[in-house]
């Protein structure tokens, strides 16, 4: 809050109105609709509907395909988050060390930020295409019985690889700027106190990066939940047998392909609750845990 503020009756409302109007029409109203519809059961033609309390929820959540998707989402998000953060941290630490060519490395490592997930998905899909994809052939040549069209593990591998690839650059940018934000004098003091650069990293640098890491964890989980939709939609489309279906992909599938409005809405509401939890955790932690 500013020490001094304008005090006017109407002016601030005019300034804030555009955003609020759009939010009410395109965010709050649809969200309320989703919640409302999650309690309704519609007939196949959408002509009549009936209030069914939590039946859509119980139908959804105890459905094996939803549980499978939930399970996959958890594993998928953890792996994508962990792998893309680790790779990015390694690269950022190394890029922070070099003097010569630092900006070239930086550019090459961050530019993939600009690539859309579905574009990355299609690119990866083509690389793994059995007809032409060297990666597909390469995997088989080195002894894997690789077939991402049929094998759930192989399919997950493809989706995770592409998702990690797409996310490394964002994490890299943040880690590098976090590293550069650590005062030089702190680094120098640490150098005088501790000989091993490895130890120095884990005892000084990494703890100082904690806020960045934590923030990135939330960002990455959100990314793995939502933005990977474009990657999955252009690679496996949830196949084989729903093995690479995330919760978001399933909402889309059931809602648009399956036209199960009630069930899809119930899934949406469950997702809303998950996002809410993520946000609460984010704010809780950012207040407490973080050093500076």
Partner 1 sequence: MERPSISTHIILIIGAIFMTLPVWVAFATSTHAPETILREGLQFWPGGHFFETYNEVLFVEGGVMKKVTAVTMLKNSMILGIGFAIGKVVISMLAAYAIVYFRFRLGVPLFWIIFMTLLLPLEVRIIPSYEVVANMGLLDTHTGLIVPLIASATGTFFFRQFFKSVPDELLEAARLDGASAWGFFKDILVPISKTMIAAILIIMFVVGWNQYLWPLIMTTQEDNYTLVIGIKQIYQVLNEGGELPQFQKAFALTILATLPPVLVVLIFQKWFVKGLVESEK
Cβ at position 215, least distance to partner 1 in Å:
6
Choice from 67, 276, 284, 290 touching partner 1 (CB under 8 A)? 276
Only one of the segments 21-29, 70-78, 140-148, 198-206 lies at the binding site for partner 1 (rule: CB under 8 A); that segment is 21-29
d(CA 146, CA 156): 12
**80 lies in the binding site for partner 1 (CB under 8 A):** no
Judged by CB under 8 A, the residue of 80, 89, 95, 159 near partner 1 is: 95
Residue 156 to residue 240: CA distance in whole angstroms: 10
SS3 280: helix
From the list 54, 71, 82, 111, which residue makes contact with partner 1 (rule: CB under 8 A)?
Answer: 111
**Interaction with partner 1 in 205-244: which residues (CB under 8 A)?**
215, 219, 222, 226, 229-230, 233-234
Task: Report the alpha-carbon distance of residue 175 to residue 91 in Å, rounded.
Answer: 9
User: Using CA atoms, how far apart are residues 63 and 198, in angstroms rounded to an integer?
Assistant: 48
DSSP 91: H
> Counting contacts by CB under 8 A, is residue 37 touching partner 1?
yes
What is the smallest separation between the CB atom of 272 and partner 1, expressed in angstroms? 5
Task: Provide the minimum distance between the beta carbon of 231 and partner 1 in the complex, in angstroms, as a whole number.
Answer: 10
What whole-number distance in Å separates Cα of residue 287 and Cα of residue 222? 20
The DSSP secondary structure of 153-193, one letter per residue, reads HHHHHHHHHHHHHHHHHHHHHHHHHHHHTS-HHHHHHHHHH
Count of residues of this chain found to bind partner 1 when the rule CB under 8 A is applied: 97
Among 58, 71, 134, 199, binds partner 1 (CB under 8 A): 134
Task: Tell me if 290 contacts partner 1 by CB under 8 A.
Answer: no
């Amino acid at each position: 809050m500013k020490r001094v503020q304008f005090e006017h009756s109407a002016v601030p409302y005019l300034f804030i109105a555009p955003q609020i109007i759009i939010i009410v029409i395109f965010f709050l109203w649809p969200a309320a609709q989703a919640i409302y519809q999650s309690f309704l059961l519609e007939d196949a033609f959408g002509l009549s509907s009936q209030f069914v309390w939590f039946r859509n929820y119980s139908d959804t959540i105890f459905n094996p395909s939803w549980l499978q998707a939930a399970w996959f989402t958890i594993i998928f998000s953890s792996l994508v988050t962990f792998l893309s953060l680790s790779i990015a941290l390694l690269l950022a630490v190394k890029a922070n060390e070099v003097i010569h060519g630092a900006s070239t490395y930086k550019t090459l490592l961050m530019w993939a930020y600009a690539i859309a997930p579905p574009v990355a998905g299609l690119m990866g899909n083509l690389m793994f295409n059995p007809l032409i994809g060297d990666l597909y052939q390469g995997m088989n040549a080195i002894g894997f019985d690789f077939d991402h069209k049929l094998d759930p593990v192989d399919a997950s591998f493809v989706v995770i690889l592409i998702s990690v690839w797409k996310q490394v650059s964002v994490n890299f940018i943040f880690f590098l700027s976090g590293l550069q934000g650590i005062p030089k004098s702190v680094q120098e003091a640490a150098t005088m106190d501790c000989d091993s650069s490895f130890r120095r990293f884990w005892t000084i640098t990494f703890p100082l990066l904690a806020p960045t890491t934590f923030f990135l964890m939330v960002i990455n989980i959100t990314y793995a939940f939502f933005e990977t939709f474009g990657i999955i939609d252009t690679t496996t489309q949830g196949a084989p047998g729903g093995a690479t279906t995330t919760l978001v992909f399933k909402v889309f599938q059931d809602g648009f392909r399956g036209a199960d409005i009630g069930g899809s809405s119930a899934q949406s509401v469950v997702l809303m609750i998950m996002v809410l939890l993520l946000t609460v955790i984010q704010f809780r932690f950012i207040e407490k845990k973080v050093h500076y």
